[in-house]
Amino acid sequence: MQRRCRYRRAARSEHDLTPLLFPFIHFSTTMTDHPSLDLATFAAQLRFDTIPPDVVERTVNLYVDWLGSALAGKGARPVETIAAFARRAAPGHGVGAGGVAEVLIDRTRTTPYFAAMVNGAASHFAEQDDVHNGSVFHPATVVFPVALALAQARGASGRDFITAAVAGYETGIRVGEFLGRSHYKVFHTTGTAGTVAAAATAGRLLGLSPQQMLDAFGSAGTQASGLWEFLRDAADSKQLHTGMAAANGLMAAELAADGFRGATRILEGAQGMAAGMSSDADPARLVDRLGERWATAETSFKYHASCRHSHPAADALLAVMGRERLGASDIARVTAHVHQAALDVLGAVVVPRTVHQAKFNMGTVLGLVALHGYAGVNEFEGGFDAAPVAAFRDKVEMAYDDEVERAYPARWIGKVTVTTHDGRRYAGRVDEPKGDPGNTLA
């Protein structure tokens, strides 16, 4: 933690021309040896006019993308169950009783806490919300529910909304990168890092001081949770993780505004998040080029409505089928060459029992792609378990691949080997799956 970067906490002189000369850089003094504080300070002091215009534009697009995912949660059983719980827990909602924040799936209004909870749950259901590759973290589903709820509650400006969202993205992505790959093997990073991201978003909209933001991180981090175990049962926990990350992060920031103290080193401390939940955490990642590198703009849209770990192989299969003019019926076997995390997350599902579980089954995703050219919401809901899809599913295997593993998570390379019924073998490959910043959606 001795590295230096441009960084500032004190107020800037009015005669300082730096903002005009370097509008993207507003950190100019030395970093401390306290990365949690550095990150909290960045989140608390982020100003709209220091965010590059392309990052602002990207954030607007990520918001619009998120709205679609949030609306797509309407009618989903786990989402509606959480919404029903929220209605029971805060029965006095409505505008006159603190109901100032909108629940998107039914346009009702409730308190920010429950709006964040329900919208956070809703927007992670379709598995089409955005993803940041390097942190393997889905920012939108924990950031925008909080930003929307508090912006509505406080009548915040669009600029404040965007600034708070960017604070959440920059924070959550760095926390996810910091927690590392050992963390992701067992923990759903969007639940854990997401709680801190939600706190950063809420804290920025509440106008927390750096010290208060650090308190918010403390209260958020000590509540960080989310385990992958649910995957093998087709259980509903994924929506619970994102809903509660949003709600708990919002709560943490509200408590901090009210003087509730949190651990000052919840991320990197000897009994903090990394100590308990990671074996390869790197504190330098928490403060990686704060104010210079805009991780928000590195975030990918999701083209297919499935677990991101299936996308590289899906696109590689599409590429080889297009190039060799193969139909699904020509194919006898597909090997998807994947990184270890894909095996960890997708390996739990063999025969999917629900639409949601099917999104974590490589064979189903490749079957939908081979048969329909796309694995979208309608393709899953219309026939994840249709006979041709199930038949294709059984032709698919995953195999660990060293090249893919070494590139991951900075790059998500897709590699497949396709064998036809008449014995031909083809290799398919994509270096950037569709939706990545270098191969973005139109």
Confirm if 417 and 337 have CB atoms less than 8 A apart: yes
Q: Which of 321, 316, 320 is nearest to 401 (CA)?
A: 316
Torsion of CA 224, 229, 232, 234, to 10 degrees: -40
Q: Which is nearer to its own copies, 25 or 275 (CB)?
A: 275
Instruction: Give the ranges where 359-411 is alpha helix by DSSP (H).
Output: 362-372, 377-383, 387-393, 402-407
Q: How far is the CB of 289 from its own copies (least distance, A)?
A: 26
| 273-302 binders of its own copies (CB under 8 A) | 273, 275-277
Residues 144-155 as b or e (16 or more Cβ within 10 Å = b): bbbbbbbbbbee
Can you tell me the distance from the alpha carbon of 138 to that of 33, in angstroms, rounded to the nearest whole number?
28
Contact flag: residue 271 with its own copies (CB under 8 A): yes
Q: Rank residues 29 and 279 by Cβ distance to its own copies and give the closer one.
A: 279
- Interface with its own copies in residues 224-263 (CB under 8 A): 224-237, 240-241, 244, 248, 251, 254-255, 258-263
Stretch of 107-115, 374-382, 388-396, 422-430 lying at the interface with its own copies (CB under 8 A): 107-115
Query: Which of 59, 69, 212, 219 is close enough to bind its own copies by CB under 8 A?
Result: 219
Query: Considering the complex, what minimum distance in angstroms separates the CB of residue 150 from its own copies?
Result: 12
- The least distance separating its own copies from the CB of residue 115, rounded to whole angstroms, comes to 10
For tokens 């760095």, what's the residue? 174
Q: Which is nearer to its own copies, 88 or 107 (CB)?
A: 88
For the CA atoms of the chain, what is the radius of gyration? 22
Q: Which region among 25-33, 204-212, 215-223, 384-392 touches its own copies (by CB under 8 A)?
A: 215-223
- Number of residues in contact with its own copies under rule CB under 8 A: 69
Tokens 């965010």 map to which residue? 51
Counting contacts by CB under 8 A, is residue 421 touching its own copies?
no
* Strand duo 396-400 + 331-338: pairing: parallel
Q: Which is nearer to its own copies, 261 or 406 (CB)?
A: 261
Q: Left, alpha or beta for 259 (phi > 0: left; psi -120 to 50: alpha)?
A: left
| Shortest distance (Å) from residue 253 CB to its own copies | 11
Sign of the alpha-carbon torsion through 351, 355, 360, 365: positive
List the one residue from 270, 325, 423, 442 that touches its own copies (CB under 8 A): 270
C-beta of residue 72 within 8 angstroms of C-beta of residue 128: yes
In 3D space, the residue among 315, 400, 386 whose CA is nearest the CA of residue 352 turns out to be: 386
Nearer to its own copies, 227 or 441 (CB): 227
Residues 72-91 that bind its own copies (CB under 8 A): 77-78, 81-82, 84-85, 88-91
- Smaller CB separation from its own copies, 140 or 149: 149
Instruction: Give the interface with its own copies as residue ranges (CB under 8 A).
Output: 77-78, 81-82, 84-85, 88-94, 97-98, 111-114, 185-187, 191, 215, 218-219, 221-237, 240-241, 244, 248, 251, 254-255, 258-266, 269-273, 275-277, 344, 348
